[in-house]
Structure 1
Amino acid sequence: MGGLHLDLQVLLVQVVISLSAPVLAAVVPILRGVRVTVREAISEHGLGKGHFGHSLVDRVIVALRHVIPIGRPLQISLRNTFRRKARLLLTLITLSLASTIFISIFSIRASLQQTLDDALTYFDYDVQVIFDRSYRTARIQGQVMGLPGVEEVETWGFGTARRVRPDGTESDNIIVYAPRPDSTMLNPILVSGRWLQPGDANAVVINTDVLGTEEDIQVGDTITLKVDGKERTWVVVGIVRGVLTGANAFVNFDYFGQVTNAIDRAQVSLVRLDDRSPENQKVMGERIENLYRRSGFRVQQMQTIGQLRATISTVFDVIILFLLAMAVLLGVVGGLGLMGTMSINVLERTREIGVMRAIGASNNAILRIVLTEGVIIGLISWMVGGLLALPASRILTMTVGMALLRAAPTYIFSTGGAILWLVIVLLLAGVASFLPARRASQLTVREVLSYE
């Protein structure tokens, strides 16, 4: 909203990275290349320096053909995949990181959505109407209780408060709800402490959003709240999990009426419907709002749980889309890296491909060998990324949840995200390997014999 602004510091960091990253990436290959002696260069045995089959990984690959019936093309693809292990490792790092982040992001999304569902269950109503001032509870309930489709109506006290800190400063506004302790429209998710009980006087339960600015508050503390311009002390008996609804405090209905001089009067009407679908919530919400207005009530706001869920989901989706864009960029970089790796592999095996062509290998056989090699790399990166995503997704979910909700979210590992990335990475590997594979399949014996 403030307009486009170019951050010179960020630009400087990008310039430094873009100039230093290629140099740093080239240091090891350059040092390794200049250290090759003339004798080693003359006695070069080809790919792997003639040592394939000596390492544990190589022996496992060779032994697979005795355990699983593997055709000759697949054997060649497996062997070629692990010939250049250092190059394979570099390619796998990027693709595996993309796999880890992609799966973790879907796990974060699933966890946040489940956390949202869990958190909104403690608001177990469908329509909330807030008035400009308090009215008699019997009058509020009587207006809509007989309306077709209405199952139950509750009335709560409502107001705003500010915490007066020990140093005399005041906090931002805290929305105060005053339900009855036996309310059926609340299923609070307690982080610590307890919920309100009948007979509670100056007991208060806060949500975790309050802790965003008032981090020093703990269960058992006595705090000062300024309500209607009057300061009163309250005892924090519990903390419930918030879900981006702002700083909320819950107090006993009867005691709040004494504090605000509004005995048996309420400012919030909560309605539970027979049909609890978002579409019906919207229709009935507008009908209830109009009914109150026609009856002389000064309505400040009407909101349905469906609208609240959509609003909070939008906030979550912005974060998820941003993280998903990072995963897509990593996937693209990984795909380009895989394409470069496959191109170099084909170039290094030009004579080998020529020998296979000379003894009768068809174009399709060569094409399948190279494509299978790329798909194997993609499959390995998915397996490695999936294993890394198990702890990474939990850590990232906890980090995002604590930043947004000030409480530990409900964690869910996204199996669907892992399956979706498997499909994507296999397609990505196939596309990245196609051009090198097509080039390899079109090599003629004459081209190979003249290759230097």
Structure 2
Amino acid sequence: MLALAGAIFISGLNTSAGIEAIPDTLAAEQRWDVEVALDAPVSATRLESVVARIPHVTHVETWTSEPAALQSSGQVDVTTTYPDQGHGSLNVTTVPETSSVFVPPPVLEGRWLRSDDTNAMVLPQMMKNLLQGRRVGEATIQLAVGGKRTTWRVVGIVEELFAPTCPCVSRAGFDQVTGRTGQANIIRIVTDSHDAQTRMALGQMVRQTLTNAAIKVRYVRPLDWLTAVSTGHLSVLVVVFLLMASVMGVVGLIGLGSTMSTNVLERTREFGVMRAIGAPASIVRRVVVAEGVFTAALSCVVAVVVALLLTRVMDVGLGNLFLGAPLPFRFSTSALLVWAVAIVLGAILTTLAPGLSNSQRGGEKEEFFL
């Protein structure tokens, strides 16, 4: 019981460390501070000129994202989403050829977009099942983009954990499909100070500036919001694992104390002999407590071995379930130290009572032998 509880506790904090590594991955790929979405496309040149004049803005990039719906022959195309208009939605995004605020994610299959691609698309790993076993580079996917039926050739599959940018297409391909040139509805801004307060203040200024320019803003999101969402999705599950481990640990310690009490009763004659030949009561108590501590320490060793396997299972299972890719594997040394200290102290406390009662019975045996 102690080993299993320890394995769940350590693997839970290992998974938590893997979740905490996701913002670092996002910061490496998403090099912007504030993202602004508009209700309707506006001239990219105008947006850049308006936003660039705002204090603390060092760089501005304009993107385009268009809602899309999967198409099936002979069926009505329906786009579904949750009330927040984010979860469950599907958007096609154009990536600037020389973007400095976005690093293309790792390519799992195929390649990334090229400037001369006109009907090419890159999908995230979560949409790979749409290929239905067809090879990347040859498979096609049909989407309704801007109310128009379109066919794209899938040239790559990329790994995106949270805040997926893809499905991605080139600017030339998007302009060809929509007939819009030089327009954008997404603004990504870089500030001169990459801290949460500056991002929040800048977001408010950008919203007010765009509103004054008669440009309707749909939302303003700092990068901190993105990282909070990415960790918040899975943190609740980690808390559940830790609570489960804590309850099992308490039950295990109670079981250890009960086992040691039974063990002391069965070894009364042995301890009586030890007292009779001169062993003080403190030595006998130490023997009982030491056996309990050894049991707890041994459970920690077993817990580490099981935790390594369980962490891998949790990383793959939770990652594929929520992200479509395994979580980064991390081992939390602090989790092992915290659990080992807690279990050893708990073992000392739970075996101290049987040790004390044994010393009293040992004294009675001593009198008998004398």
1:387 alignment partner in structure 2: 305
Q: Which residue of 249, 260, 268 corresponds with 2:186?
A: 268
Larger Rg: 1
Aligned 1:152-163 pairs, distance under 5 A: 152-163=59-70
1:156, 1:179 within 8 Å by CA — same for their partners in 2? yes
1:351, 1:448 within 8 Å by CA — same for their partners in 2? no
Report whether the alignment pairs 1:164 with 2:81.
Answer: no
2:122 alignment partner in structure 1: 205
Change (3 A) 1:95 1:108: same
Aligned 1:10-409 pairs, distance under 5 A: 94-166=1-73, 168=75, 170=77, 172=80, 173-189=89-105, 190-211=107-128, 214=130, 216=132, 219-220=136-137, 221-245=139-163, 248-409=166-327
Unaligned runs of 5+ in 1: 1-93
Distance 1:285 1:159 in 2: 22
**Partner secondary structure for residue 319 of structure 2:** helix
Q: How far is 1:402 from its partner?
A: 1.4
Backbone CA RMSD of aligned residues: 2.3
Change (3 A) 1:427 1:216: farther
1:378, 1:425 within 8 Å by CA — same for their partners in 2? yes
Give, as a single letter, the amino acid of the residue that structure 2 aligns with 1:101. Answer: I
Change (3 A) 1:391 1:147: same
2:10, 2:339 within 8 Å by CA — same for their partners in 1? yes
2:271, 2:362 within 8 Å by CA — same for their partners in 1? no
Distance 2:256 2:25 in 1: 42
Change (3 A) 1:410 1:167: farther
Change (3 A) 1:107 1:138: same
Distance 2:64 2:172 in 1: 9
Give, as a single letter, the amino acid of the residue that structure 1 aligns with 2:158. Answer: V
Distance 1:247 1:181 in 2: 15
**Partner secondary structure for residue 131 of structure 1:** strand
Distance 2:5 2:14 in 1: 14
2:15, 2:314 within 8 Å by CA — same for their partners in 1? yes
Give, as a single letter, the amino acid of the residue that structure 2 aligns with 1:185. Answer: V
Distance 1:341 1:166 in 2: 68
**Partner secondary structure for residue 183 of structure 1:** coil
2:85 alignment partner in structure 1: none
1:208, 1:247 within 8 Å by CA — same for their partners in 2? no
**Partner secondary structure for residue 69 of structure 2:** strand
Distance 2:334 2:37 in 1: 40
Higher relative contact order, structure no. (Cα contacts within 8 Å, ≥ 6 residues apart): 2
Change (3 A) 1:217 1:251: farther
TM-score by length of 2: 0.89
Bigger Cα displacement from structure 2, 222-231 vs 196-205: 196-205
1:370, 1:433 within 8 Å by CA — same for their partners in 2? yes
* Residues 309-332 of structure 1: per-residue CA shift (max 9 Å, x gap): 112211111111112222222212
Q: How far is 1:338 from its partner?
A: 0.8
**Partner secondary structure for residue 394 of structure 1:** helix
**Partner secondary structure for residue 114 of structure 2:** coil
1:176, 1:249 within 8 Å by CA — same for their partners in 2? yes
Distance 2:133 2:168 in 1: 15
Distance 1:434 1:166 in 2: 74
2:318, 2:326 within 8 Å by CA — same for their partners in 1? no
Distance 1:327 1:188 in 2: 39
Equivalent pairs counted in the alignment come to 357
Identity across matched positions, percent: 31
2:61, 2:189 within 8 Å by CA — same for their partners in 1? yes
Distance 1:120 1:168 in 2: 40
TM-score by length of 1: 0.73
